[in-house]
Chains A and B, each alone.
Chain A
């Protein structure tokens, strides 16, 4: 268990990190960012919590089998979206022009239109689920494996 300063700072910083990661994920088809980057930022909050509160307390909150299920569902969603355009080609953008994220923007910079992208924002979310759960599970598994018994309290 670390000191009170570290714990309090982690409590304040973690929501900001989570919010920034979420912004990078769901705004990734308009501005810079995307599933991988936002997912890494999001998962770094898990590392912060492990450092501040100890891995056993975090692992009661985030269980490994749930993280594995989330990671698998993200990967399956990504491959499913890739196969959804199979009528034309693999990775065809099926939803461009449809009601779901379907606005087709004019040529040039127009950052105010976020209901665009077709399958791209959905794939961002799928990859982000994969990355968030995978990286959190890696951090948590390694922290749990290296904890000394009786030293954590």
Chain B
């Protein structure tokens, strides 16, 4: 009983959230912030990069790229540490 009440309450909350987001959606074609216009207009003067995506990835949001590179480096290190075969060590079958 209490489980059913919990499930239906969760579904009702999710439905209300979906309806609210559908009603409050901003009109198509109007950007929600001025940041994208700023980047499109100024990235070529500020970073000298023709590719705006590269300018965002490596300059405006460099921290994000640093985190991605760190994640990949850690993954590679962990895989090598787990799977390495030392010299002279017979692999177990």
Interface residues of A (CB under 8 A from B): 28-32, 34, 36, 64, 68, 71-72, 75, 78-79, 82, 90-91, 93, 96-97, 101-107, 109-111, 113, 116-120, 123-124, 127, 130-131, 133-135, 137-138, 141-142, 144-145, 149
Q: Are B76 and A117 in contact (CB under 8 A)?
A: no
Residues of B within 8 A of A75 (CB): 69-70, 73
B58 at the interface (CB under 8 A from A): yes
Q: How many A-B residue pairs have CB under 8 A?
A: 122
* Contact among B51, B69, B73 with A32 in the assembled complex (CB-CB below 8 Å): B51
Q: State which of B6-14, B25-33, B83-91 sits at the interface with chain A.
A: B83-91
In the bound complex, CA of A113 to CA of B68 (Å): 29
Q: Are A29 and B50 in contact (CB under 8 A)?
A: yes
* Contact among B54, B68, B72, B93 with A120 in the assembled complex (CB-CB below 8 Å): B54
Interface residues of B (CB under 8 A from A): 41, 44-51, 53-55, 57-59, 62-63, 65-66, 68-70, 72-73, 75-77, 79-80, 83-85, 91, 93
In the bound complex, CA of A30 to CA of B58 (Å): 13
Residues of A within 8 A of B59 (CB): 91, 93, 119-120
Q: Write 7 A-B pairs (CB below 8 A) sorted by A numbering.
A: A75-B73, A78-B66, A120-B47, A120-B49, A134-B72, A137-B80, A138-B80
Q: Are A36 and B68 in contact (CB under 8 A)?
A: yes
Q: Are A111 and B47 in contact (CB under 8 A)?
A: no
Residues of A within 8 A of B79 (CB): 137-138, 141-142
Q: Are A117 and B54 in contact (CB under 8 A)?
A: yes
Give A117 Cβ to nearest chain B Cβ, in Å: 4
Residues of B within 8 A of A30 (CB): 50-51
